[in-house]
A and B are shown apart, each in its own frame.
Chain A
């Protein structure tokens, strides 16, 4: 069998389905929602043609999807699902439940505006509002990274027994066609060993989960969750490094693009990173010392890596494609908190750019940067378009 990957033209959603197929999950509960639906349809098509061997469950809601995912994972099977927006929000209670149960489910979320009013555009408020639920969160830039991140996510999730969310922007990533390298199954099998958790539901070795706990037990349980979270940045970096050795592709936990000699860093997540790369190239050409810092791992927030990546800049411009009412851009606030107390703190400009899916072109990014650098950094995030 050839070990060479094949290059196929895939949408982000199809790339996700390929990533899921290659990870060989055994249980896949899933509910359709725009713009995630093609993930579901591709997986059921794989199953129908006999190339995907999983128990696919199609319940009446995303709530039941996540309700089924958790005990399936606790039985010791690998579990995958995908959702978007309202579906993710409907799962909210179960997201907490999954991390509490230490169920390493991998879920793809297609970032879509949250109602009301109804809209279907790229906006990351859906998943960012779930940041306290105990899930590891990745944000990816394109279809290739989506496929690769699903596999890396399983690798990390199962090492620390934490559920993991891979987020991709609606349409810009979910529906855009790109050439994607699809690795051979044998390569993935070598990278991702079978799921073999230390505890599981087994009638021969009776253990239970969910019975009521004392204050002390609950406290220790949260501490153990924190310890697992603390291990994630290093394990995510290692998973990425080993993936690079096998495929030549690496994304990092935090990526610095053209940051050498730069005085200003643009920081963002998801598909906006691709736009900013073009903007940075153009600004560099025009003699501006600007680079991109891409946050790929958002939960746990890799504070040490962020501080290192952002050290030495005069100005940081955060582009938030999300909005937390009453507090502004989520990444803006998180970065300010992560950098507080650094020896030299750069000026941090928070820009609410692309909220609700409004288009942000490379030229716009350059204009936002020029405008921001002309004034003082404001405490509050600024609406720009």
Chain B
């Protein structure tokens, strides 16, 4: 695993990129790219990351980038991977840096198919819980009650659980991660690098503009997401072996909501509902972890 000091250097993502001030997408990509190293190629569908990658003829990434259509990242990664395999370049890692729109929504069909075929790449979903690149509209990753351009009164349905869905494909590795918990993130990337097959890591990406978060509060918000249990950090190997990485839930969700304008003016009853949903999700996760531990000891 690369030391944090090295992760803080910028050899793979250049300065001068086009991200907003304080952007956690760019910060996360910097860590991912540094951890992946130079023997990698990236597929970046339309998303904030595609803008951060820079306009022609420039690129802010020091590895080859292919930008496919919004709905085809996993299929494009498949083509890239198979062509590299045909050339005997099995050591070159193919990564995807996609947003939640390109993953949970329009790109989901081809992601499911690639996972079913266990295609050999690492898929990073930079999950900022909405269509932030088009000015913050809801995606199926947007949480319950969050206000977006298309849910001005708050979203009426819950966030899709991508991690569980991908684990159900029985791929070797599915994990959640956060730049707010950097050692855990770097360990997960290193672990994924050592495996073959479809590996999916979803990172929570607080969005300054879309969530209404202060420019310097991105990492704090990411940490609160984990500490409140709204975005638990865990891993699922081979579809059934669960590991909870941040094992305690230490904050009420109201602490997390309070940092973000997208939850402004939520009623006490709605906050209570959301807290109950998070508590329920946390309990379910604990059960799955316990079941998985029981099986491994049986």
Contacts and interface: CB of A to CB of B under 8 A. Distances in A.
Interface of A: 26-27, 29, 54-55, 57-61, 63-65, 67-77, 79, 93-94, 97, 201-203, 206-214, 217
B40 interface: yes
Given A64-B113, A67-B79, A211-B56, 19 more contacts: A29-B82, A55-B82, A57-B79, A59-B78, A59-B114, A59-B117, A68-B78, A68-B79, A70-B68, A72-B79, A94-B69, A203-B38, A206-B59, A208-B67, A209-B66, A210-B44, A212-B51, A212-B56, A217-B57
B56 A69 contact: no
Interface in B36-90: 38-41, 43-44, 50-51, 53-59, 61-69, 71-72, 74-80, 82-87
B291 interface: no
A72 B82 contact: yes
A19 B54 CA distance: 41
Contacts of B64: 201-203, 206-208
A353 to B, nearest CB: 37
Contact of B83 (A60, A67, A71): A71
A87 B113 CA distance: 17
Contacts of A214: 55-56
B290 interface: no
Q: Which 10 A-B residue pairings sit nearest by Cβ, starting from the closest?
A: A210-B67, A68-B79, A67-B72, A60-B113, A64-B75, A67-B75, A75-B83, A55-B82, A72-B83, A72-B79
9 contacts: A27-B79, A29-B78, A60-B112, A64-B75, A70-B68, A75-B84, A203-B41, A212-B51, A217-B57
Contacts of B84: 75
A27 B56 contact: no
Given A70-B76, A208-B64, A203 B39 contact: yes
A355 B209 CA distance: 54
Contacts of B266: none
B163 interface: no
Contacts of B113: 59-61, 64
Given A76-B83, A203-B40, A208-B66, A68 B61 contact: no
Contacts of A217: 56-57
A378 B67 CA distance: 48
Contacts of B109: 60-61, 64
Interface residues of B, number: 47
Contact of A71 (B58, B59, B66, B110): B66
A182 B113 CA distance: 36
B79 A71 contact: yes
B92 interface: yes
Contacts of B53: 208, 211
A72 B65 contact: no
Contacts of A75: 80, 83-84, 87
Contacts of A210: 44, 50, 65-68
B80 A71 contact: yes
A54 B74 CA distance: 20
B191 to A, nearest CB: 22
Nearest to A93: B69
Contacts of B41: 201, 203
Nearest to B86: A26
A203 B110 contact: no
Interface string B102-141: 0000000110111011000000000000000000000000
Contacts of B87: 26, 75-77
Contacts of A58: 117
A55 B85 contact: yes
Contacts of B61: 208
B202 to A, nearest CB: 21
B82 A27 contact: yes
B6 to A, nearest CB: 20
B280 to A, nearest CB: 33
A211 B69 contact: no
Nearest to B112: A60
B55 A211 contact: yes
A63 B67 CA distance: 16
A71 B65 contact: no
B57 to A, nearest CB: 8
Contact of B110 (A63, A70, A73, A202): A63
A183 to B, nearest CB: 24
A118 B56 CA distance: 43
Contacts of B59: 206, 208, 211
Contacts of A206: 59, 62-64
Contacts of B67: 208-211
Given A71-B66, A201-B66, A208-B59, A64 B83 contact: no
Interface string B6-42: 0000000000000000000000000000000011110
Contacts of A207: 64
A97 B79 contact: no
Given A59-B114, A211-B65, A217-B56, A67 B76 contact: yes
Contacts of A60: 109-110, 112-113, 116
Given A76-B87, A211-B59, A57 B69 contact: no
A208 B71 CA distance: 19
| Most A Cβ at <10 Å: residue of B61, B65, B92 | B65
Nearest to A28: B82
A370 to B, nearest CB: 50
Contacts of B72: 63-64, 67, 94
A29 B76 CA distance: 11
Contacts of A59: 75, 78, 110, 113-114, 117
B86 A29 contact: no
A134 to B, nearest CB: 15
Contacts of A74: 66
| Most B Cβ at <10 Å: residue of A73, A97, A206, A214 | A206
